[in-house]
Structure 1
Amino acid sequence: MKKIGILGGTFDPPHIGHLKLAIHFAKLLNLDELLLIPSGEPWQKGSDITAAEIRFQLTEAAGIDLARALLYLKIPTQIGIDRLEIERAGPSYSIDTAKSLRERYGPKANLIWLTGVDSLIHLPTWNAWQDLFHYMNFAVASRPNYELATEMSPEIRKILQERQTQDLSALETTPYGLIYIDESLSVDLSSTDLRNRLKTSDRNLIEPDQIPSHTLQIITNLGLYQ
Structure 2
Amino acid sequence: MDTPKKIGILGGTFDPPHLGHLKLATHFAKALHLDALLLIPSGEPWQKGAGISPAEIRFQLTEAAGIDLARAFLYLKIPTEIGIDRIELDRAGPSYAIDTAKALRERFGPNVSLTWLMGADSLLNLPSWNSWDQLLSFVNFAVASRPHHALSVEMTPEIEALLKKHQCIDTDTLEKSPFGRIYLDNSLAVDLSSTELRNQLKNASRGAIASEHIPSHALEIITNLGLYK
- Name the TM tier (shorter chain): over 0.9
Pairwise CA RMSD of aligned residues? 0.8
* Whole-angstrom distance in 2 between the partners of 1:179 and 1:145: 21
Structure 2 unaligned blocks of 5 or more: none
AA at the equivalent of 1:25: F
**Residue aligned with 1:180, SS:** strand
Q: TM-score normalized by structure 2?
A: 0.97
Describe the superposition over 1:133-169 as per-residue Cα deviations: whole angstroms up to 9, x where unpaired.
0000000000100010110111000000000010211
The more displaced of 181-190 and 65-74 is 181-190
Partner of 2:189: 186
Partner of 1:224: 227
Matches within 5 A, 1:43-192: 43-192=46-195
Q: How far 1:198 moved relative to its partner?
A: 1.2
Describe the superposition over 1:41-77 as per-residue Cα deviations: whole angstroms up to 9, x where unpaired.
0000001100000000000000000000001100000
Q: How far 1:207 moved relative to its partner?
A: 4.3
Partner of 2:20: 17
* Whole-angstrom distance in 2 between the partners of 1:221 and 1:117: 34
1:205 aligns with 2:211: no
* Whole-angstrom distance in 2 between the partners of 1:159 and 1:189: 23
Q: How many corresponding residue pairs? A: 226
Structure 1 stretches of 4+ with a deviation exceeding 2 A read none
- Relative to structure 1, is the Cα distance of residues 97 and 146 closer, same or farther in structure 2, using a 3 angstrom cutoff? same
Q: Does the CA-based 8 Å contact 2:119-2:192 persist in structure 1?
A: no
* Whole-angstrom distance in 1 between the partners of 2:41 and 2:203: 25
* Whole-angstrom distance in 1 between the partners of 2:210 and 2:126: 31
Q: TM-score normalized by structure 1?
A: 0.98
Structure 1 unaligned blocks of 5 or more: none
**Residue aligned with 1:107, SS:** coil
